[in-house]
Amino acid sequence: MIATPLFRHLFPALLAMLLCVAPVAAQQPSAVNPTASSVTEKQLLDALKPNSTDTIAGRVSIPDVRAGNLIQPTGVEFRAYQTTTIFQVGAIAIPGMLALLALFYLIRGRVRIQGGPSAQTIVRFAWFSRFVHWMTATSFIALGLSGLNLVFGKTLLLPVIGASAFSAMSQLGKFVHDYVSFAFALGIFLMFVMWVKDNLPALRDIRWIVQFGGMLGFGHPTADRFNAGQKLMFWATILGGGTLAVSGYIMMFRPVSFAISAMQLATVVHGLTGVVLVAIILAHIYIGTVGMEGAFRAMGRGTVDLNWAKEHHSVWVEKVARKRPKDISGGPAPAPAE
């Protein structure tokens, strides 16, 4: 018989295959009811519709219940924000502010002391005030650069410096951003305590705003220690910095009780506030340095020229002359005797 040897070889092989397949077949359900306890396809498709706010979630045994979130359609919008919106807002706000400042400089030039520098100075900021200002400023620069790297770095820096350098720099930037934030938050708090009473709104602020602080050539409006422009800068810094701190610490510490949507909201608020505040601070840096003669000295040495002070803060100068005349120093040198 020709078939006998073949059967003798094939039979054990077929038997072995049957033994292997049998347990697998036994594991298959005998009857499947797809609509009984499993997620129906219609529900999934409904949840995935663009305007849906439904969430497909399961259960997990670890403390972070958010890990059970499988599908959240609003995540699509959040991804669009991260990849597109924040980039667009930043690309408009920051270069836009730089362009505005350059245009203003070309039209107006540097704001000079009209009466010319005097031989007298007046104490503007004490040592501790300047310390707090520079602590907040230097930490904000570190936070701003490391934060902007998250928004623009992948597009602008990665192609230039390469993946390895960009990766190392971004990792370092992440640590800097996290840890330096505490100095910034402390600075914001101290600035609020030190200067809030001098930054409350006053009626004369309206006139200052209408005349744009005299920078357009309509005379110098009176101002107390801080004019309306400085008050706006103060509140933008306090409110913006406070918002950055709160939203940033929500992102950093990730409270377990916070839903994913709350975390996404914190991320959106943090990014948008950050790029807008960077643009605002650029204006502050401009007017405090190249934009106005004599302004940097206030934070550099703590004193300002008396003529500068009389032009920009006439009410404040009168108060200081009346209450703390010792703060005004370096009077005109007496004429030499014949």
Partner 1 sequence: MTSFIAAVLAVVAISVGASFLLETQQQTVDKTYATSGTRVDLDPRLSGGVAPKH
Q: Which is nearer to partner 1, 105 or 175 (CB)?
A: 175
Q: Look up residue 63 and give its DSSP letter.
A: S
* CB 170 within 8 Å of CB 153: yes
190 near partner 1, rule: CB under 8 A? no
DSSP 111: B
For residue 179, with 0-12 CB atoms within 10 Å meaning exposed, 13-18 middle and 19 or more buried, which class applies? exposed
Tokens of residue 153, six digits: 């770095």
CB of 252 to partner 1, least distance (A): 9
Interface region with partner 1, contact rule CB under 8 A, candidates 20-28, 131-139, 279-287, 307-315: 131-139
Q: To the nearest whole angstrom, how small is the minimum distance from the Cβ of residue 129 to partner 1?
A: 8
3-state SS assignment for residue 207? helix
Query: Rule CB under 8 A: is residue 55 a binding residue for partner 1?
Result: yes
77 lines the binding site for partner 1 (CB under 8 A): no
In this chain, which of 179, 196, 319, 329 binds partner 1, going by CB under 8 A?
179
Distance CA 79, CA 149 (A): 18
Smallest gap from Cβ 174 to partner 1, in A, equals 12
Pick the binder of partner 1 from 17, 193, 259, 321 (CB under 8 A).
259
First-last CA distance in the chain: 147
138 binds partner 1, rule: CB under 8 A = yes
Is residue 246 involved in binding partner 1 (CB under 8 A)? no
Residues 294 and 173: their CA atoms lie apart, in Å, by 35
Phi, psi dihedrals of residue 119, rounded to the nearest 5°: -90, 0
Q: Which stretch binds partner 1 (CB under 8 A): 66-74, 76-84, 147-155, 232-240?
A: 66-74
Interface pick for partner 1 out of 91, 100, 123, 135 (rule CB under 8 A)? 135
Q: Is 145 in the site for partner 1 (CB under 8 A)?
A: no
73 binding partner 1? (CB under 8 A): no
Sequence-distant (≥ 6) Cβ neighbours of residue 206 within 8 angstroms: 228
Residue number with CB closer to partner 1 (277 or 298): 298
- Asked if residue 223 binds partner 1 (CB under 8 A), the reply is no
Binding mask 284-313 for partner 1 (x = CB under 8 A): ----------------x-x-----------
CA distance 242 to 204: 27
Among residues 9, 59, 197, 323, which is the contact residue for partner 1, using CB under 8 A? 59
Residue from 158, 176, 239, 269 binding partner 1 (CB under 8 A): 176
Nearest CA to 271 out of 148, 185, 171 is that of 148
Structure tokens at 280: 């605002």
Question: Would you call 307 helix, strand, or coil by DSSP?
Answer: helix
Buried b (16+ CB within 10 A) or exposed e, 292-314: bbbbbbbbeeebbbbbbbbbbbe
Give the range of 2-10, 33-41, 191-199, 316-324 binding partner 1 by CB under 8 A.
Answer: 33-41
> Which tokens go with 277?
């505040």
Q: Which of 161, 186, 236, 285 binds partner 1 (CB under 8 A)?
A: 186
Given 7, 175, 212, 218, the residue binding partner 1 (CB under 8 A): 175
**Residue 93 to residue 116: CA distance in whole angstroms:** 35
Q: What are phi and psi of 176, to 5 degrees?
A: -60, -45
- List residues binding partner 1 (CB under 8 A): 37-40, 43, 46-47, 53-64, 67-68, 70, 127-128, 130-135, 137-139, 142, 175-176, 178-180, 182-183, 186, 259-262, 300, 302
